[in-house]
């Protein structure tokens, strides 16, 4: 059954992995949705920033490079092949990226914790004590957990 055009199409979970990179499948989804004119406006301010920007920093790429790669691909496998050929990092770097994502914000990050509390309140999720990081928040906000 086709989705109505006004319905939000959620990108994949930030926990999804491609070529050992957490978040990469979600970032690809966001770029594809943007290129198709279907990325919900709520996602636009962080496109290429936030967790996308964190992935770009670890991968040593720019948002513009990734947009070009995704634009010139038909399937995710092509993007994965390109990343594999152009991003040469040891597994420890991918694991450091994963850990940074999964632990943001850290318990002692007062500003990050305040932002997470505010986002939970805005989304009607303030009662959810299981949401301790922004990865948790994204999955809850997009109705995966």
Could you give the C-alpha distances from 42 to 9, 47, 122, in angstroms and in order?
Answer: 12, 10, 13
- Per the DSSP assignment, residues forming a β-bridge with 118 are none
Q: Is the pLDDT confidence value at 5 over 90?
A: no
Phi-psi region at 37: left, alpha or beta (left = phi > 0; alpha = psi -120 to 50)? left
Taking all residues of the chain, what is their mean pLDDT, rounded to a whole number? Answer: 96
CB 94 within 8 A of CB 66: no
CB neighbourhood size of 127 (10 A): 8
pLDDT grade, residue 7 (50/70/90)?
confident
* Domain range summary for the chain, segments of one domain joined by +: 1-102, 109-145
d(CA 28, CA 52): 10
pLDDT tens figures, 79-100 = 999 999 999 999 999 999 999 9
Q: Is the pLDDT confidence value at 6 over 80?
A: no
Strands (E), the chain: 17-18, 21-22
Contacts of 125 (CB under 8 A, 6+ apart): 131, 137, 140, 141
pLDDT tens figures, 108-119 = 999 999 999 999
Report the candidate in 110, 111, 109, 115 with the shortest Cα–Cα distance to residue 134: 115
pLDDT tens figures, 45-69 = 999 999 999 999 999 999 999 999 9
The pLDDT of residue 1: 54
User: pTM higher than 0.85 for the full model?
Assistant: yes
């Amino acid at each position: 059954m086709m989705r109505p055009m006004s319905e939000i199409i959620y990108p994949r979970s930030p926990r999804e992995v491609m070529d050992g990179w957490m978040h990469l499948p979600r970032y690809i989804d966001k770029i594809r949705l943007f290129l198709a004119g279907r990325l919900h406006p709520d996602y636009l301010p962080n496109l290429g920033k936030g967790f996308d920007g964190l992935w770009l920093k670890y991968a040593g790429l720019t948002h513009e490079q990734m947009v070009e790669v995704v634009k010139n691909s038909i399937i995710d496998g092509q993007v994965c092949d390109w990343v594999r050929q152009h991003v040469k990092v040891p597994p420890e770097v991918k694991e450091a990226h994963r850990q940074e994502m999964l632990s943001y914000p850290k318990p002692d990050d007062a500003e990050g914790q305040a932002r997470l509390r505010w986002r939970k309140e805005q989304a009607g999720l303030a009662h959810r004590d299981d949401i301790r990081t922004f990865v948790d928040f994204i999955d809850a906000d997009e109705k995966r957990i």
